[in-house]
Amino acid sequence: MLKEKNTLFTIGQFAALHEINKKTLMWYDEIGLLKPACIKENGYRYYSYQQSTVLETILMLRELNVSLDKIKHFMKSRTIDTFDTLLQEKIAELNQTISHLKSIQKILVNQQQDMDMLRSLDLAEISLIEKQSRYLVAVNTTDNLPFEQEIERVISETKKYQLRRLHDASYGSMLPVENLYQEKFSEYAALYIEMPFPVSKKGLHLQPAGTYLRAFHKGSWDKLPDRYKEILAFANQQGLSLYGYAYETGINEIVIDNIDDYITKIEIPVKSE
């Protein structure tokens, strides 16, 4: 072991030992991050066995996307506390990344399920389903405000909850059930975006779990009132009492070019007996 600790490796040998390109070692030398143990008269760089631990630490931090400046600062003052602080920062970043990837996975799974459903979808069908609760960022609609500005308000609100992009969540609109019964089919209460993994639930709208009436509408939104009349007639025939909001979500906008092919999913909670 003593002999190994005194062994010097050429730059090629040291690079091969750690499975990196020797140009990486030359770059680290140039920026003062890891200098050779010695440079002999022939100009060849040599690294010591003890420097393996240092290099592996650098490579680990680079794999965690720690900047070179931060690594240089850490290597100059390596202590338990500085390393612990660095690890805490990276663990927090990784947790955010994992949460983000999980949310993306959830959205993709939901979209795949929607695509599978579209293949055999009976647009005339009205059915009862069971849903889990979910958290929504709901932004109240304002009379006479252009739709584009309403969307901007929703996006601005979601930034408070660390949603990275609009496609990271499903979005739609909320129509109060009391407005349905009064045939005020155009008087929406809010636009919403679902938060797959909300950082904070404070201020979010909770869409309740339970039984929902589900229906679909194909075509432009101005034809939705006719579909709602059919939904209300079905609920009346079945003796169902609706409450809360009708939640509207577009489910095929990614795969269409014409608004006449647009499919809106409508889900309305049903009061339990």
Does residue 164 have a pLDDT over 90?
no
Does residue 181 have a pLDDT over 80?
yes
Q: Is residue 41 part of a domain?
A: yes
Give the residue with greater pLDDT, 26 vs 116.
Answer: 26
Does residue 23 have a pLDDT over 90?
yes
The pLDDT of 221-232, averaged and rounded, is 95
Sign of CA dihedral 80, 81, 83, 89: positive
Helices 80-119 and 68-76 pack at an angle, to 10 degrees, of 150
Q: Is residue 87 part of a domain?
A: no
Return phi, psi of residue 38, to 5°: -160, 155
Predicted TM-score of the model (pTM): 0.62
Joined together, the tokens standing for residue 171 give 């979005």
Does residue 176 have a pLDDT over 90?
yes
Q: At 67, which CATH number?
A: 1.10.1660.10
The pLDDT of 182-190, averaged and rounded, is 93
Radius of gyration of the chain (CA): 29
The pLDDT of 137-154, averaged and rounded, is 73
Q: How many domains does the chain have?
A: 2
Does residue 214 have a pLDDT over 90?
yes
> Which residue type is seen at 114?
D
Q: Is residue 97 part of a domain?
A: no
134 and 231 co-located in one domain: yes
Does residue 2 have a pLDDT over 70?
no
Q: Mean of the per-residue pLDDT values for the chain?
A: 86
Does residue 4 have a pLDDT over 70?
no
Does residue 180 have a pLDDT over 90?
yes
The parent domain of residue 25 ranges over: 2-78
Q: Is residue 88 part of a domain?
A: no
9 and 53 co-located in one domain: yes
Q: Is residue 93 part of a domain?
A: no
Residue-wise pLDDT tens digits, 79-137: 899 889 888 988 998 888 887 788 778 778 877 887 888 888 899 999 999 999 988 88
**What is the 3 state secondary structure string of the chain?**
CHHHHCCEEEHHHHHHHCCCCHHHHHHHHHCCCCCCCEECCCCCEEEECCHHHHHHHHHHHHHCCCCHHHHHHHHHCCCHHHHHHHHHHHHHHHHHHHHHHHHHHHHHHHHHHHHHHHHCCCCCCCEEEEECCEEEEEEECCCCCCHHHHHHHHHHHHHHHCCCCHHHCCEEEEEEHHHHHCCCCCCCCEEEEECCCCCCCCCCEEECCEEEEEEEEECCHHHHHHHHHHHHHHHHHHCCCECCEEEEEECCHHHCCCHHHCEEEEEEEECCC
Q: Is residue 120 part of a domain?
A: yes
Q: What is residue 154's predicted lDDT score, i.e. its pLDDT?
A: 67
* Range from 105-119, 152-166, 175-189, 201-215 that averages highest in pLDDT: 175-189
